[in-house]
Amino acid sequence: MTYLEELRGIIRRLHGAEATHVKSVAVKETFKGQTVWEGIVEVFDLVGHPTAHRVYAWANETDDPSQKRQHVTVLHLHPIKSAQDAVRAAIVREFRSLEPAE
């Protein structure tokens, strides 16, 4: 199974839609002069999704031997309009998940 096939399967499972690969976009996200994420975001068009026509997807390598990759998908829905926006949203989501609950 290729990387793109793997991502298509994740998209199908998470979003219930078929995905057609459109392009690969290099993204580098920095914060206060430091690189916080750098990689390739795969852009897919969606067929059969009720609200989004596009999704951004990628996988991050992990140190967990039981789960070597963490897959990330972000739907192209307001305010997400680009691969860069998708990465920013995923970073914010990850940091919020690390905050202690009040």
pTM for this structure?
0.90
Residue reference for tokens 């793109």 = 4
Q: What is the DSSP string of 57-84?
A: EEEEE-S-TT--EEEEEEE--TT--SHH
pLDDT attached to residue 62? 81
**46-96 residue pLDDT tens:** 999 999 999 999 999 888 878 788 999 999 999 999 999 999 999 998 888
Q: Would you state the structure tokens that stand for residue 102, as one six-digit string?
A: 């009040």
Query: What span, in angstroms and rounded, lies between the C-alpha atoms of 75 and 47?
Result: 13
Q: Where are the domains of the chain?
A: 3-98
